[in-house]
Homo-oligomer: A and B are copies of this chain.
């Protein structure tokens, strides 16, 4: 009865990639724990670059600095 939340940055992930993520992660849960995919929920959360920080700065800041 697993629930999986995948948080990724919002930078052009396609519909096909999302489907591959959902399929792949459900498969891992099935292979490793024997959980039937029917009982596994996968929720993908896309996060804006301005809203994701690492190293004390937002990813948008790194992108800006790189562009200079």
B-chain residues with CB within 8 Å of residue A8 when the two chains form the complex: 1-2, 29, 33, 35
> Are B7 and A43 touching (Cβ within 8 A)?
yes
Complexed CA–CA distance, A53 and B41 (Å): 6
When chains A and B are docked, how far (Å) is the Cα of A59 from the Cα of B46?
17
Contact of A50 among B1, B7, B18, B23 (CB under 8 A): B18
B-chain residues with CB within 8 Å of residue A29 when the two chains form the complex: 6, 8, 21
A41-B41 CB under 8 A given contacts A22-B58, A54-B1, A61-B19: yes
Complex CA gap A64/B26 in Å reads 20
Contact B52 A43 (CB under 8 A): yes
5 A-B pairs closest in CB distance: A22-B53, A24-B28, A42-B53, A26-B56, A44-B51
